[in-house]
Structure 1
Amino acid sequence: MDARWKLRRVYGADHDDPDPGPRPGHDYAELVGGALDGLLLDVTGWSAEERSDGAALTTEIGAYGPGGRAWYRPRAADPAFWEWEADSP
């Protein structure tokens, strides 16, 4: 695991979780831009096809408020980083 990620918060971790960071043995992508910028997405167990498709992640802090989604896709040059593309309802 990348040392710079050890103090980061994982997407989906509860706000009151005493240890919201990454877990050993898991694979993560760093979210870049948009409402979820800086969070880590746990992609452990995702197939190469699932990873290449990206994800629509539920967020309350995007352009559409509660229930909205932030769309992220892997960066072509470095798939460890997923770039924000858009928000949707």
Structure 2
Amino acid sequence: MIDQERTPSGAQDVTALFNARFGARVKTLRESHQPYLSQEAAAHRAGVAVSTWSRVERGLQAVHPQRLLGIAEALDVEIGELFVGLDG
């Protein structure tokens, strides 16, 4: 989580926007996965708690770089695919 007392307001806004876009991208990839992946199945494949996966998809939790590979593998995509379209 972000320490809001030590993070400038503008940085908080950018971080929140990135987290929201990243989460939406993860959700889109999960929902378009064939066969369909539930949040529970995707979380299990990624090695994270279902609550963590849900918070990521909703943009409420930042993803530690070490978790990116697990998320990508759970969704059967390359890591770079997680970031497609996040620039706006």
With a CA cutoff of 8 Å and minimum separation of 6, indicate the structure with the bigger relative contact order.
2
Higher helix content, 1 or 2: 2
TM range (shorter): under 0.3
Normalising by structure 1, what TM-score? 0.25
TM-score (structure 2 length as normaliser): 0.25
